[in-house]
Amino acid sequence: MSSDQQLPGDVAALAEVPADKGEVHLVHLYPREMSIYGDLGNTRCLAARLRWHGYSPVVHDHHPGSPWPDQVHLVLGGGGQDSGQARVQEDLARIADRLRELAADGVPMLMICGMYQLFGEAFVTVEGARLPGLGILDVTTRGNEKRMIGPVVLDTDFGPVVGYENHSGSTVLGEGQQPFGRVRQGHGNNGSDGTEGARTHNVVGSYLHGPVLPANPWLADGLLEIAARRATGTWAPADVDDTVAREAHERQVRRLLG
Report pLDDT for 105.
97
Is residue 2 situated within a structural domain? Answer: no
Predicted pLDDT at 72:
98
**Cα–Cα distance between 50 and 226 in angstroms, integer?**
12
What is the chain's mean pLDDT, rounded? 92
Share of the chain above pLDDT 70, in %: 95
Each residue of 103-114: pLDDT tens digit? 999 999 999 999
Q: Which residues are catalytic?
A: 113, 209
Q: Tell whether 199 is in a known binding site.
A: no
Structure confidence by residue, pLDDT tens digits, 168-225: 999 999 999 999 999 999 999 999 999 999 999 999 999 998 789 999 999 999 999 9
Task: Tell whether 161 is covered by a domain.
Answer: yes
7 pLDDT higher than 70: no
Task: Return the CATH number at 115.
Answer: 3.40.50.880
What confidence tier does 36 reach under pLDDT thresholds 50, 70, 90? confident
pLDDT at 199: 98
| pLDDT recorded at residue 9 | 64
Summarised one tens digit per residue, pLDDT across range 122-150 is 989 888 888 889 999 999 999 988 899 99
Q: Is residue 139 part of a domain?
A: yes
- Answer yes or no: is 6 within a domain: no
Q: How many domains does the chain have?
A: 1
Domain extent for 185: 18-233+240-257
Asked if residue 4 is part of any domain, the answer here is no
Residue 13 lies in a domain: no
* Residue with the larger pLDDT of the pair 56 and 84: 56
In a domain, 170, yes or no: yes
* The predicted structure's pLDDT at residue 2: 47
> Does residue 5 sit within a domain?
no
